[in-house]
């Protein structure tokens, strides 16, 4: 079983739990939850629905002493998960009270784009909760179903690793300085057939028209079309305000998603932008936050020549 590191530790403990199949998962997760319940610690469990069902059955009456949420709803867009954990910490961790959670955002059926954003989410957790005391977060990884490269990346995004028999510090963890640096993992180039439009403050109406035309051509209903127009307009407005006054938008349909790629000459210097709900005192961050709440996936990159934001909306194809 996973070896407790001592939850009296005042720091955030972010642990990747490597398991093989449902039985090892149940063994490790049950111990983690029961240890928290016995210690009087609030426990939040964010997993696939079938795993929640099995855990609740195994916990019996104790199941009512933990909080459960379906990761398919909370983390369909991985950029929404940190806000959910912030809500849990704010509600249950006041005054440095020890709390613990289980969250499994990565599963074998995730697309390559989703997987890339899950890895980014996992490393940003370390930054988001670096100053949060007595929060222990366990992130399960099914090594029997996932590609070995996914598990290798878990070593780089988690300070601690465990399995059902052992606990250790990761030898590959990147550290907060690297995590805070501009994120420049490559994105696949748009196809040559992608529609392209250069815009500035005087042509935002053209951006909205383009999004409307492409959304209607993809078969979206009026509500989804309006949602996309709002999200892309927010990102384009960010380009004008913070990215040099203009930008370029490209759009295409890859057979499963309608994509919009917005490029500008700016530079993102806030790694958690769009992942924490903005407060009134903050001058920016609302555009990315809104896009993440409205769209299926949002990818943010900062390259040497500027920013790229890529929005995905499933077409149902």
- Per residue, the 3-state secondary structure of the chain, as one string, reads CCCCCCCCCCCCEEEEEEECHHHHHHHHHHHHHHHHHHCCCCEEEEECHHHHHHHHHHHHHHHHHCEEEEHHHHCCCHHHHHHHHHHHHHHHCHHHCCEEEEECCCCCCCCHHHHHHHHHHHHHHHHHCCCCCCEEEEEEEECCCCCHHHHHHHHHHCCEEECCCCEEECCCCCCHHHHHCCCCCCCCCCCCCCEEEEEEHHHHHHHHHHHHHHHHHCCCCHHHHHHHHHHHHHHHHHHHHHCCCEEEEEEEECCCEEEEEEEECCCCCCCCCCCCCCCCCCCCCHHHHHHHHHCCEEEEEEECCEEEEEEEEECCC
Q: CATH 3.40.50.300 spans which residues of the chain?
A: 13-180
pLDDT in tens, the chain (317 residues): 444 444 445 689 999 999 999 999 999 999 999 999 999 999 999 999 999 999 999 999 999 999 999 999 999 999 999 999 999 999 999 988 999 999 999 999 999 999 999 999 999 999 999 999 899 999 999 999 999 999 999 999 999 999 999 999 999 999 999 999 999 999 999 999 999 999 999 999 999 999 999 999 999 999 999 999 999 999 999 999 999 999 999 999 999 999 999 999 999 989 999 999 887 656 556 899 999 999 999 999 999 999 999 999 999 75
In terms of CATH, what superfamily is 13-180?
P-loop containing nucleotide triphosphate hydrolases (3.40.50.300)
> What class is the 195-314 domain?
alpha beta
Which part of the chain is CATH 3.30.565.10? Answer: 195-314
């Amino acid at each position: 079983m996973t070896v407790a590191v001592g939850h009296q530790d005042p720091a955030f403990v972010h642990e990747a739990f490597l398991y093989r199949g449902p039985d090892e998962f149940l063994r490790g997760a049950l111990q983690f939850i029961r240890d928290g319940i016995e210690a009087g610690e609030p426990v939040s469990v964010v997993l696939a629905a079938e795993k929640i069902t099995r855990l609740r059955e195994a916990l019996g009456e104790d199941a009512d002493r933990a909080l459960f949420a379906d990761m398919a709803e909370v983390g369909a867009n991985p950029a929404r998960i940190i806000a959910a954990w912030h809500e849990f910490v704010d509600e249950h961790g006041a005054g440095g009270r020890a709390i613990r959670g289980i969250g499994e955002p990565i599963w074998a059926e995730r697309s390559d784009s989703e997987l890339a954003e899950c890895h980014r989410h996992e490393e940003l957790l370390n930054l988001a909760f670096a100053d949060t005391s007595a929060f222990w977060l366990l992130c399960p990884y099914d090594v029997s179903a996932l590609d070995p490269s996914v598990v290798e990346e878990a070593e780089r995004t988690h300070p601690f690793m465990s399995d059902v028999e052992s606990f250790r510090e990761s030898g590959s963890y990147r550290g907060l300085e690297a995590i805070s640096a501009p994120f420049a993992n490559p994105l696949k180039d748009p196809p040559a057939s992608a529609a392209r439009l250069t815009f500035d403050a005087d042509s935002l109406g053209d951006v909205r028209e383009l999004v409307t035309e492409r959304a209607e051509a993809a078969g979206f209903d009026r509500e989804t079309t309006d949602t996309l127009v709002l999200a892309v307009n927010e990102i384009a407005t960010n380009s004008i305000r913070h990215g040099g006054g203009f930008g370029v938008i490209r759009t295409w349909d890859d057979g499963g998603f309608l994509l919009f790629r917005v490029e500008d000459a700016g530079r993102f210097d806030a790694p958690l932008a769009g992942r924490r709900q903005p407060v009134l005192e903050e001058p920016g961050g609302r555009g990315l936050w809104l896009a993440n709440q409205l769209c299926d996936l949002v990818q943010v990159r900062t390259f040497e020549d500027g920013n790229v934001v890529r929005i995905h909306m499933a077409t149902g194809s």
